Amino acid sequence: MDFSLTEEHLMIQEAARDFARAELLPGVIERDEKQEFPKDQVKQMGELGFLGMMVDPKYGGGGMDTLSYVIAMEEISKIDASASVVMSVNNSLVCWGLEAYGTEEQKEKYLTKLASGESIGAFCLSEPEAGSDATSQKTTAFEKDDHYVLNGTKNWITNGSTADFYLVIAQTHPELKHKGINAFIIEKGWEGFEIGAKEQKLGIRGSDTHSLMFTDVKVPKENRIGEDGFGFKFAMKVLAGGRIGIAAQALGIAAGAYELAKEYSKVRKSFGTEICNHQAIAFKLADMHTQIEAARMLVYKAAKDKDNKENYDLSGAMAKLYASQVAMDTTIEAVQIHGGNGYVKEYHVERLMRDAKITQIYEGTSEIQKIVISRAVLKD
């Protein structure tokens, strides 16, 4: 597979890199400390076209390929993974899901605003007792007259309080198990929809994570996505692409930490020489560089599979599994290379290490990726 980047890809990479350095880097430490959502920066990301990159221009998107999207995700994640998770959820879960499976009316009403960044989206699958075991949905949406009545709780929802529109997965026909699940578009402010307290987190602290409560929320029938009972398949299809975005986020976190560690090793001296001249440090850099290159190839392969309309369930899961491990390993070593300074906030690597961990948990834990991968491999 040819992974060479076109002129357009290189321009997107440069634009994302410039934006991240100019707009996200200043204040990233403070936002992490205060758990502050990067509100102004997310608005700018919308204006620059980073929130609906792959959406057809007729719905206000950038009409770009998945490779462009992962390239931009990598650059933004090098600096601020709290901003890049907003981008990932909006692009690959919410916009992609609506564009692929929404009705024309849903696209006109919701997708156009989400793709332009005028509105922000959230994807709500996880529940207190249904995380990895996603078919065990307890949230219900029963039909009544011309609408559905939604009841239940969703947990750990990214963009929980900042989103305008929420894609919510709920059980309509419990006797049909996962074949009875539906997906709905819910608007902030609807009666009975309450946003819970913000989670206090280890990493991606600028990202806005909340539980959501629904009590007898009236959902118009035209807000159901797809046929009756399509909701679980919808969630799985959306997550297959979402995992490519999170793999790119993990790659960016790893690459960001590596670049900082490499530069630091060239200026920090011990025993009369720069620390990069100690083989123990140089070999760490060699391992980091190799693993990051390998992760990038897996991420690009998954993105290209999606662009070439090949099945990307397997390549996306492999990219996420591997890149998230590389993000963990690389950030831990980047802290080590920085010594005591690695433990101090102003050097950035401790934040990257804390941010890396989530990439092994959300959009399917590493164990879940291994279930997806092993099932695909054994089916072959």
Q: Which residues are catalytic?
A: 363
Among 99, 208, 313, 350, binds ligand CAA (CB under 6 A): 313
Among 90, 209, 249, 315, the residue binding ligand FAD under the rule CB under 6 A is: 209
DSSP strands (E only) in 43-164: 121-124, 140-144, 147-158
Q: Which stretch binds ligand FAD (CB under 6 A): 129-137, 187-195, 329-337, 339-347?
A: 129-137
Judging by beta carbons within 10 Å of its beta carbon (0-12, 13-18, 19+), is residue 16 exposed, middle or buried?
buried
Residues of this chain, 46-75, that bind ligand CAA according to CB under 6 A: none
Question: Of these, 125, 276, 319, 373, which contacts ligand FAD (CB under 6 A)?
Answer: 125
**246 CB contacts (<8 Å, ≥6 apart)?**
88, 320, 324, 359, 362, 363
Nearest-CA neighbor of 334 among 274, 288, 280? Answer: 288
- The nearest distance, CB 47 to ligand CAA, in angstroms, is 23
> Side chain identity at 361, as an amino acid letter?
I
* Residue 188 interacts with ligand CAA (CB under 6 A): yes or no: no
123 scored as a contact of ligand FAD (CB under 6 A)? yes
**CB–CB of 106/98 below 8 Å?**
yes
Interface with ligand CAA (CB under 6 A), residue from 59, 166, 300, 362:
362
Contacts of 311 (CB under 8 A, 6+ apart): 305
Q: Is residue 365 at the binding interface for ligand FAD, with CB under 6 A as the rule?
A: yes
Q: What does the alpha-carbon distance between residue 303 and residue 326 come to, in Å, rounded to a whole number?
A: 18
DSSP per-residue string spanning 263-301: HHHHH-EETTEEGGGSHHHHHHHHHHHHHHHHHHHHHHH
Binder of ligand CAA out of 84, 116, 139, 158 (CB under 6 A): 158
- Site membership for ligand CAA, residue 202 (CB under 6 A): no
- CA 145 to chain centroid: 37
Rounded Cα gap, residues 136 and 232, in angstroms: 10
**Residue from 26, 311, 367, 377 that binds ligand FAD (CB under 6 A)?**
367
Count of residues in contact with ligand CAA, rule CB under 6 A: 23
Tell me: does residue 138 bind ligand CAA (CB under 6 A).
Answer: no
Binding-site ranges for ligand FAD (CB under 6 A): 89, 122-126, 131-133, 156-158, 201, 204, 209, 358, 361-362, 364-365, 367-368
Binding-site ranges for ligand CAA (CB under 6 A): 85, 89, 123, 125-126, 132, 134-135, 158, 178, 232-233, 236-237, 239-240, 313, 362-364, 368, 371-372
